[in-house]
Chain A
Amino acid sequence: MSRETSVLYDAPGPRAKRRTIILSVVIGLAAVALLYQFVYKPLDAKGQFSMVKWGPLIDPDNEYFDGVWDRLWVGAKATMQAAALAIVFSALVGLVLGVIRILLRAVSTRRYATLPPAVAYGLRGLTWVLNALTRVCVEFFRGIPVVITIFFAWQLLGGTFLPVVVGLVIYNGIVIAEIVRSGMEGVAKGQREAAESLGLSSLQTTRLILLPQAIRTMLPALISQIVVVLKDTALGGIIVAGYEELIATSRQVSQLLPQLAFDQELYNPLQFFTIVCLMFLVVNYALSKLAQYLERRLSTKADAKPVKVTSAAGTGV
């Protein structure tokens, strides 16, 4: 942190240090005052900090505590299951698709001079068509929102769990395929040339030489993609009726509580979402840190630069 930004300003001297401390205190106080005035007071006036609203979530003695956390646990499990399945299948789809695209590119330069001309042209045409087809599929599904994919997967397939996983796999599989592809393209050119001059086939070159080296550099990008998948399961919650992940469960239970208790005071969506966001934050922050750590470790080795996916996908948004 300090290493990369300190070039922007001089190391503070005693006067600058004093000024920084004074400034910090002033800014801190101002921030607290602003938060108090514009966030705490209006929320408090509406009773958003009362134990009536928070109790079911944080007070183990509360009569609703166990029920609420049972439901939240169900939601958390649904989120994790969908995310785990989606990431595993995305990785598989991504690996296969990425390798196919690399192979197609390697094959596309071939002229098949030993075969009769008709067969040779046929094979070249076939590679061209497959190349175009995969390219179009990738651009299509990468360019449309996951929400739309999930929504139409749901309308088409029905069910609750399946459409979410399918939607996530279609999008993230393609993103991972791009990560795999740029990872393998990032491997030093001499590696491929050496493998080919040893007489390895395209598939062998990819499987034995390129992929093992690329996996290492792809790891940070792959872990960041887990964060994206985890976040995107929440989309399933708002679209697919009946898929009860964390966000959907919170919505449901916060609407149910006041009806159970015959008390409108118990309506507490903000409190629920705060807790749910904290859960997401803890898990995703840990994963992001892991990705950063791996990236730093890998970048110390001169030959292995982590994959930078600069195109539409893979920014973690």
Chain B
Amino acid sequence: MNVLWEQFPVFRDGFLLTFQLSFLSAIGALLVGTLVAVLRISPVPPLRWLGTSYVNLFRNIPLTAVFVFVVVGLPLLGSSADFLKIPGLDQIFTRLGIDLPYFRFSIIALSLYTAAFVCEALRSGINAVPSGQAEAARSIGLTFTQNLRFIVLPQAWRAAIVPLGSVIIAMIKNSAIAGFMGLYGDLSSRGQELVSAGVNGVTYPLIPVFIAISLGFLIMTVPLGLLLDRIEKNRMVKAR
């Protein structure tokens, strides 16, 4: 297990980058996913079709393909995702502002893909709101948007928090793909480097690196999972 102490800065930086990537992608996925969910339940049929096809498309193709499309396709469209160089935000997340676009590409790919699952989680939350709530809102004359904003969504968020959490956990794990798709410096690319190319000419044995990299992910996924279990259990006790 020497490698964990010897190369601790490498793992720490890798963890921090993976964390940043997951954090920003989670925000992106929640924003896009909420939008798609609203589209999916809107009263206007074309919007509904748009939302449904978005979900069906992204749910059924591999994340790898989404990554490839973003990494190959966006440069062809003449964009290196500069719109993500948000002033202020790129001071905190310095990787956002640099010229190499792979961090931004990874955020886009992860957000777009995860948004489909966020939409489904939200929809399951919306379905969990008793229909009497929406009917009561309608009967006192609230419009569709008011109904969603004041009555349904605030309650749906609460019911959706556990499925949303599992989607975010899955997304954190999926962020490891970025390291194989051009992003340099996150946990998975660092692990790859340590065992195959080596740091300063020294390669490290597989198992310790594997455990160290895994720890980096487990630090994020296990507490989140335990938290979700707890929330779920509390709910079940209350419901009884």
Contact = CB atoms under 8 A, between A and B. Distances in A.
A280 B60 contact: yes
B152 interface: yes
B136 to A, nearest CB: 10
Size bracket of the B interface: 35 or more
Contacts of B170: 312, 315, 317
A312 B177 contact: no
B206 A152 contact: yes
Interface stretch (B5-13, B61-69, B86-94, B95-103): B61-69
Given A46-B76, A281-B57, A146 B173 contact: yes
Nearest to A286: B60
Interface in A160-206: none
A143 B62 contact: no
B46 interface: yes
B31 interface: no
A43 B74 CA distance: 10
Contact of B65 (A145, A234, A311, A312): A234
A17 to B, nearest CB: 10
A210 B134 CA distance: 39
A104 B163 CA distance: 28
Q: In the complex, which range does the number of interface residues on chain A fall in?
A: 35 or more
A46 B181 CA distance: 23
B47 A27 contact: yes
Interface in A9-63: 9-10, 12, 16, 20, 23-24, 27-28, 31, 38-39, 42-43, 46, 48
6 A-B pairs with the lowest CB-CB distances in the bound complex, closest first: A317-B170, A234-B62, A284-B60, A145-B176, A234-B64, A145-B173
Interface of A: 4-5, 7-10, 12, 16, 20, 23-24, 27-28, 31, 38-39, 42-43, 46, 48, 139-140, 143-148, 151-152, 155-156, 227, 230-235, 237-239, 247, 251, 269-270, 273, 276-277, 280-281, 284-285, 288, 310-317
Given A234-B65, A315-B167, 11 more contacts: A7-B138, A20-B43, A42-B77, A144-B173, A144-B217, A152-B206, A155-B196, A239-B180, A270-B76, A276-B65, A311-B225
